[in-house]
Chains A and B, each alone.
Chain A
Amino acid sequence: MIHTVLGLELAYWQETTLRVLGGLVMLLLLTGGVVYLYLFKFVSFMQSRLGPMEAGPYGSLQLLAEVGKWLQKEDIFPEDADRKIFALAPAIVLASTFLMFIVIPAGPNAVVSDLGTGIYFVLAMSSLSVIGILMAGWASANKYALIGALRAGGQLIAYELPLVLATIGVVVAAGSLNLQDIVAAQANGEIFGIDWIGNPFVITQFVAFMIFVISVQAELTQTPFDMPIAESELVAGYHVEYTGIRFLIYFIAEFATAVAFAAVASTLFLGGWALPAAWGLGTGVMHVVGPIVISTKAVLLVGVVFWVRFTLPRYREDQLQRFAWKFLIPLALANIVVTAIAKVVF
């Protein structure tokens, strides 16, 4: 299949190379941006301090300095560790993060691979990271790490369900699993005949949106759902024994996953890369504007996650399990029922 990009005809391998490199650039750029913007600066301002100011203007090169620092750290394996699994676990977590980015569209044609299973693929791949975390916790041969990994396992599966059930509301409304179709449904939609903002599902599926964002907070093990890495009792949870670059990879994966989930939430609920069809912008314009639109939405949503993270105190383990099973899951099921009735009746 030959696609045309900017008037150039591209062979399959050229197109694939472009898509893969584009995906990689988006991933690294957005993750780096989010780390600098929120973890270094936003939080510092919330805590009445300046944050990094030395490396580059306003500390903007601090991230590169950090990577350089971590690269030089000694790689220590604890003596009782299961060495192979210990070494491999960060790669699994990183691969899970990469897999999430594959189907998120950033423009009419800007997607690594436009799979028909779309959102289902994202959700399946996001849960792969649990395997990496359990591997890390087990292989470390450390009590803190083991307890942290078990907590992470329990929490990630508990909040996987509201996450999946909340997206079903959107799938019912859009009638497709493919993310491009979901974006198109929102751009072309209308609410009671008003079409100038399209039909972003955050309006009609507001309950699902709230469930999704809360579950994302828990899936990322950010405060208030950070029992797995609770530093006051487990030191750092499953990555307590990791040093140097392997530790940094967990860190990168955590923030890249935050970006990926935010991009998924923007695609499902906030209209994705598209601007409402009523604005009459052509496909050519959207090739350029699309990535900017989705990046903006995703970065703002990550901002909400971090805002909550640095504001609320931590839930106890039983409280967060109860919240998922007794509140979020019944609510998500009720949302499916209501959405389905609305879809059939109207």
Chain B
Amino acid sequence: MANPLSEFLRSYLSVGIFVGLSFVLFGLLMVISWALRPNRPQAGKYINYESGVDPVGSTWSQSQVRYYIFALLFVIFDVEAVFIFPWATRLEAYGTFGLIEMFAFITILILGLVYAWRKGVLKWA
């Protein structure tokens, strides 16, 4: 039973059970609510809410996503975080070597941020 792989998989089995529980709770609330709530259909109820007036035009409206470049930047920095985490846990073993290596890495990323900043990407366009 002390097989490390089965221990590892079992720790994730607990995760699965706990998430399953959240869906069970959700289902339970839905069932209770379904048993208790009234259902009185009226045409006006199902109109999309737009502060009381009838919706204008298509409700799948287009809106300008002003910060989509932020999303690209986010991907870069998030991947960076993925690389930094293993380094951070083992820093004591790597010592000065690891420190210098990671400085090079972080510096390049900061240069990227500075470039985006100077380009005006971080401004409200």
Contacts and interface: CB of A to CB of B under 8 A. Distances in A.
Interface string A45-56: 000000000000
A157 B74 contact: yes
Given A141-B48, A176-B89, A112 B18 contact: yes
Contacts of B21: 20, 24, 98
Interface of B is mostly: helix
B5 interface: no
Nearest to B77: A161
Contacts of B81: 161, 164-165, 168
Contact residues on B (Cβ < 8 Å of other chain), bracket: 35 or more
B17 A16 contact: yes
Contacts of B89: 171, 175-177
A249 B25 CA distance: 10
B68 to A, nearest CB: 9
Contacts of B115: none
B61 A160 contact: no
B26 A91 contact: yes
A291 B92 CA distance: 31
A68 to B, nearest CB: 9
Contacts of A16: 13-14, 17
Interface string B45-86: 111111100010001110101010011011001100100110
A176 B90 CA distance: 8
Contacts of A325: 70, 73, 113, 117, 122
A78 B50 CA distance: 12
Given A154-B70, A161-B78, A245 B122 contact: no
Interface of A is mostly: helix
A146 interface: yes
B49 A144 contact: yes
A286 B55 CA distance: 59
A114 interface: yes
B23 A102 contact: no
A241 B48 contact: yes
B39 A333 contact: no
Given A142-B48, A235-B51, A344-B96, A99 B113 contact: no
A343 B103 CA distance: 14
B11 to A, nearest CB: 5
A75 B16 CA distance: 29
A346 B36 CA distance: 64
A321 B122 contact: yes
B95 interface: yes
B18 A143 contact: no
Interface string B88-116: 11111001101100110010011001000
Nearest to A67: B29
A210 B105 CA distance: 25
B26 A249 contact: yes
B91 A175 contact: yes
Interface string A245-263: 1001100000000000000
A4 interface: no
Contact of B47 (A78, A140, A160, A317): A78
Interface of A: 1-2, 12, 16, 19-20, 23-24, 70-80, 90-91, 94-95, 97-99, 101-102, 112-115, 120, 140-144, 146-147, 150, 154, 157-158, 160-161, 164-165, 168, 171-172, 175-177, 235, 240-241, 244-245, 248-249, 317-318, 321-322, 325-326, 329-330, 333, 336-337, 340-341, 343-344
14 contacts: A23-B18, A72-B36, A73-B33, A80-B60, A113-B18, A140-B48, A142-B49, A143-B63, A144-B49, A175-B91, A235-B49, A318-B123, A329-B113, A344-B91
Given A98-B18, A325-B73, A337-B106, 7 more contacts: A71-B33, A72-B38, A112-B15, A113-B18, A114-B11, A142-B48, A343-B92
